[in-house]
Amino acid sequence: MDVFPFNRFELGSKSTIEDFVTINNGVGDVIIGDKTMIGIGSVIIGPVTIGNHVMLAQNIVVSGLNHGYEDPNVPPSLQKETKKLIVISDDVWIGANSVITAGVTIGKHVVVGAGSVVTKDIPDYSVAVGNPARIIKQYSFNEGEWKKN
């Protein structure tokens, strides 16, 4: 774990970080809620807030960090870093090998299909899949069922 004393790192009650996970709060806080599971081989780079009862499967990348690339005369590794908070709300399940990009908010009770790349916010009670991820279902409280988009 690359956990630094100048940014926050919090791990909620009864949460689990499995083997070979990298947690890095060097550029922003990493807050993980209660009863949340971070799967084998995942990478979490702040700033990131993860809610309660969240399941991140294996090999997930959640990174609030990016490097600039705009100046063609300077390698991206030497350009200014940017950071944007990622929020993963309560009761979310993210499938294996997915990527969550900087600045994204994932709503409550969202399912992200395996191998998805999430580049935009996903509203509450949705199922999103693909690269880039798109919403394929949403729960209708009026009808009491999941509806295809």
- List active site positions: 67
| Residue 22: Cβ within 10 Å count | 14
Amino acid at the residue 101: T
Residue 120's DSSP bridge partners are none
Show the tokens assigned to 18.
Answer: 């499995």
Edge-to-edge strand ranges of the sheet holding 55-56: 16-17, 37-38, 55-56, 93-94, 111-112, 126-129, 134-140, 145-148
- Choose among 52, 56, 18, 21: nearest CA to 35: 52
Size (the chain), residues: 149
